[in-house]
Structure 1
Amino acid sequence: MDLTEDVVMTHLPTDVRAALRFFAFFLGNGTLDVDLLDGIDYRSDLLTYGSDLEMIFAIFTNVLEVNDQGETLNAGDAQYRAAQWIRRRYDPEYQVEPPFEDWETELHGP
């Protein structure tokens, strides 16, 4: 694709939709980064405290990188950063490395 062309996007690219679907699947069934979140049952709080779910998706989508062809470049990294936020939420002793930057936890929208 020529970067000088105007591109009108009417839908998220298929690869991005797949990354979001898998992220939601892993998050919902408790298998999001099983090594990092071993023994932490975060799922019961996801619907009770909507702001946790909001932040988890914000981190995933803020970190997710997409190339010019709409292919995701780092879905695993984006999942891991979201899992780190969950781990820190349930384990105050856990140190996120590297620490979250402001852009990673920024909430977008109206």
Structure 2
Amino acid sequence: MQKLSHSFSGALRTFSFWIANGTVGLPILEGIDYSCIFEEPNALEQAYAIFANVIEMDDDGKVCNPKYAEMRAALFIRSYVDSSYKVEPEFEGWEVALY
């Protein structure tokens, strides 16, 4: 039975830590209070879905793009707390899909 790699587990743990302590996605979320996502489970779920959908691993399970996956999730969070913020490039369907 396959398990998630230590690299992915570490990337997910780090992302979760930064989400929880208010430092995810810097500088995109610099000075922005996004704590409202903890009161809206769908928003937090979407941020994690984007992170998980965007992250890539090589054949050995080593994460190749953790900062890019974090940045895409941060762009969603920014657009969630500021409806006037435009995500560039816009999200593609596969990035926001909930599985």
Shorter chain as denominator, the TM-score bin is over 0.9
How many residues matched?
99
Describe how 1:1-110 pairs up with structure 2 within 5 A. 8-9=1-2, 11-43=3-35, 45-108=36-99
* Post-superposition offset of 1:91: 1.4
TM-score, length basis structure 2: 0.94
Separation (CA, whole Å) in 1 of partners of 2:48 and 2:76: 11
TM-score by length of 1: 0.85
Once the two structures are TM-superposed, the CA of residue 95 in structure 1 deviates from its matched residue by 1.4
Identity of matched residues, %: 41
| Residue 104 (structure 1) shift | 0.2
What is the CA–CA distance in structure 2 between the aligned matches of 1:47 and 1:97, rounded to whole Å?
24
After superposition, give the CA deviation of every residue in 1:43-100 in whole Å (9 maximum; x if it has no partner).
Answer: 2x23321111100000000000011000001000000000000111111221111100
Q: Give the unaligned 5+ runs of structure 2.
A: none
Q: Distance in 2 between matches of 1:13 and 1:33?
A: 23
Q: Which runs of 5+ in 1 are unaligned?
A: 1-7
Highest Rg: 1 or 2?
1
User: In 2, Cα distance between the equivalents of 1:93 and 1:42?
Assistant: 15
SS in 1 for 2:78: helix
The RMSD of aligned alpha carbons is 1.0
